[in-house]
Chains A and B, each alone.
Chain A
Amino acid sequence: MAQTMTIHFKIWRQSGPDAKGKLVDYTLDNLNEDMSFLEALDVLNETLIHKGEEDPVEFDNDCREGICGSCGVVVGGIAHGPMKATAVCQLHMRHYKDGDTIVVEPFRAEAFPIVKDLVVDRSAFDRIIAAGGYVSVDTGGAPDANSLPVPKNDVDEAFDFATCIGCGACVASCPNASASLFTGAKIAHLAHLPQGQAERKQRVVRMVDQMQAEGFGDCSNHGECEAVCPKQISIAAIAKMRREYLRAVFG
């Protein structure tokens, strides 16, 4: 029989993009330790809807199995919460003790404007991708399997960087609100593959430029992004981005 627990939440409530927000206290005393953190928020929202006094707490989520990159809030001061290598949907209440207080805030960055409560607009990432995070391929029949051999080491490197789900935790956790890990992961992923060679130089220049235009801060190499990344993407991606950029400009 799962333990019932009481948890005190302090949740950021903000009615709209330009509204003034504040942390609001909520206490739930019938939580189950097997619940996920997002399920606990679901329970809170059910309660709020039943009471009918205020709107439910808005938060982004979709697959709830750590692969879509939709969810993401700052829990107890850490993007996606205290567990390593997980998105916040994989955080469970069993990691907390009965009576704990949990502060929940949205990802904070000027480039990620708050839409409502814990929901932020991450379309800046889409624009960085649109600037160059793609490969142009001819349409037609599917190519034969293995017609484009790629060395194992390159595949492994590329795949590690390709695991980025674009959740934005790197920006949220960065003391400078920099998007270097996200942008670096996309650039490093494609730079390691033969399909990425044609647009290799223009890609890095355009994506870095778009990253700057979106108003993200500059990287200070704190490496905090890697620590919160649900896919544990190494800041080697950022070093790779810099090599690619310097090569494109001076090479």
Chain B
Amino acid sequence: MTPRNTRDKPDILSALASPVGKKALTGVTGLAWAGFVILHMAGNLSYFGAGEAYNEYAHKLLSLGPLLYAAEILLVVCLLIHAVLGINIYLGKRRARKRGYDVYRSAGRPGLQSPSSRSMILTGVALLVFLVIHIKSFKFGPGIAEGYSLLVEGEQIRDLKRLVTEKFQHPLYAFGYTGVMILLGFHLRHGAWSALQSLGAMNRRLAPLVYGIAAALAVGVAVGFVALPLYIYFSAL
């Protein structure tokens, strides 16, 4: 019956490894990535902009130099923490209930259990695998050296627009990308609101509003991302 004796002010590492710390870290790192995908989506939409808006935007990003590297390192670190904790929480749940129910049903509202909340581990793993392929195809894909270049104001810059246009004319890329972006929508549907709840930034009045905004954000981001591949694929037919 005696509870184990504990330190009343845990050091930072054990605090971060506590049930609260793990969720807060998952939330913060998830929000960092949510911010990134929103910017990325806005960048994608510049494809529809006038002239060479897309290539100029990509070039401007690259010319940030060290600032861009810092942001990339931050994102990679966030991703690793987010993925490790997500997998840890998933494995922990299996340890916490080794034998499941023969019959299990959700009691519905006010619970928020949904296909999106139940599939975070699956959508997360799918996004992780996609990310590796995606970075290989585009960021480390053919560039100026391979002839994907154009002259803008006397400067030789990478013709990313041509690469993207070519890739998305292929049905595997166009529809694979579309599928994964729908999964991203599902991940954000639960993740965006869950992150704020995990950080304690929630109360009874705020919760329904934030839950609604998360849904709008998820749909908005998914639609914003799938617009590009579907437009390219169908306009090339």
Taking a contact as CB atoms under 8 Å apart, the answer to whether B18 and A226 are in contact is: no
Is there an interface contact between A218 and B197, defined as CB atoms closer than 8 Å? Answer: no
Contact call B1/A123, Cβ cutoff below 8 A: yes
Q: Which residues of B contact A128 (CB under 8 A)?
A: 3
In the complex, residue of chain A having the shortest beta-carbon distance to the beta carbon of B121: A220
A116-155 CB mask vs B (1 if < 8 Å, else 0) is 0000000100111011000000000000000000000000
The 8 A CB mask of A200-216 against B (1 = contact, 0 = none) is 01100110111111011
Interface pair A245/B20, CB less than 8 Å apart: yes
Which single member of A77, A126, A178, A208 contacts B105 (CB below 8 Å)?
Answer: A77
Q: Answer whether residue A110 sits at the interface, using C-beta atoms and an 8 A cutoff.
A: yes
Whether A108 contacts B198 by the Cβ 8 Å rule is no
Nearest-neighbour CB distance to chain A for B12, whole angstroms, equals: 8
Specify which chain A residues have a CB less than 8 angstroms from the CB of B203 in the assembled complex.
Answer: 236, 239-240
Please report the number of residue pairs spanning A and B whose Cβ atoms sit closer than 8 angstroms. Answer: 188
Chain A residues lying within 8 Å of B180, measured Cβ to Cβ, are: none
B contacts with A, residue count (CB < 8 A): 55
In-complex Cβ contact of B109 among A76, A111, A211, A227 (8 A): A227
- Segment from B32-40, B58-66, B111-119, B160-168 that makes contact with A: B111-119
Q: List 25 A-B contacts (CB under 8 A).
A: A12-B102, A74-B101, A76-B103, A76-B105, A84-B107, A103-B102, A123-B1, A177-B93, A180-B19, A208-B19, A210-B3, A213-B4, A217-B93, A220-B93, A221-B112, A221-B198, A222-B113, A224-B107, A224-B111, A227-B110, A239-B202, A239-B203, A242-B198, A245-B21, A245-B200
B23 close to A (CB within 8 Å): yes
* A interface residues, tally (CB under 8 Å): 68
A211 to B97, CA, bound (A): 15
In the complex, chain B residues whose CB is within 8 Å of the CB of A109: 96-97
B201 within 8 A of partner (CB): yes
List residues of chain A with CB within 8 A of the CB of B1.
123, 126-127, 130
Beta-carbon contact of A219 and B95 below 8 Å: no
- Nearest CB on A from B158, distance (A): 41
Interchain nearest-CB distance for B140 vs A (Å): 34
Nearest-neighbor residue (CB-CB) of A105 within chain B:
B101
Determine whether the beta carbon of A103 is less than 8 Å from that of B103: yes
Q: Which B residues between 55 and 83 are near A, CB-CB below 8 angstroms?
A: none
**A103-B103, A126-B1 as given contacts; A205 in contact with B96, CB under 8 Å:** no
**Contact (Cβ within 8 A) B104 A219:** no
- A221 contact set on B, CB distance < 8 A: 23, 112, 117, 190, 193-194, 197-198
Whole-angstrom distance between the alpha carbons of A216 and B103 in the complex?
Answer: 21
Tell whether A223 is near chain B: CB-to-CB under 8 Å.
Answer: yes
Q: Taking the complex as formed, is A175 at the interface, i.e. its CB lies under 8 A from any CB of chain B? A: yes
Is A7 among interface residues, defined by CB-CB distance under 8 A? no
Chain A residues packing against B (C-beta within 8 Å) = 10, 12, 23, 74, 76-79, 82, 84, 103, 105, 108-111, 123, 126-128, 130-131, 173, 175-178, 180, 201-202, 205-206, 208-213, 215-228, 232, 234-236, 238-246, 248-250
- Tell yes or no: B9 within 8 A of A by CB: yes
- What residue in chain A is nearest B105 (Cβ atoms)? A77
In the complex the two chains form, is B111's CB within 8 Å of A131's CB? no
Bound together, the chains give a CA A228 to CA B111 distance in angstroms of 8
Query: Do B201 and A239 touch across chains, with their CB atoms under 8 A apart?
Result: yes
Partner of B106, one of A205, A227, A238: A227
User: Given the complex of chains A and B, what is the CA–CA distance between A232 and B93 in angstroms?
Assistant: 24
Partner of A127, one of B3, B7, B95, B105: B3
Whether B95 and A238, one on each chain, are in contact in the complex, defined by CB atoms closer than 8 angstroms, is no
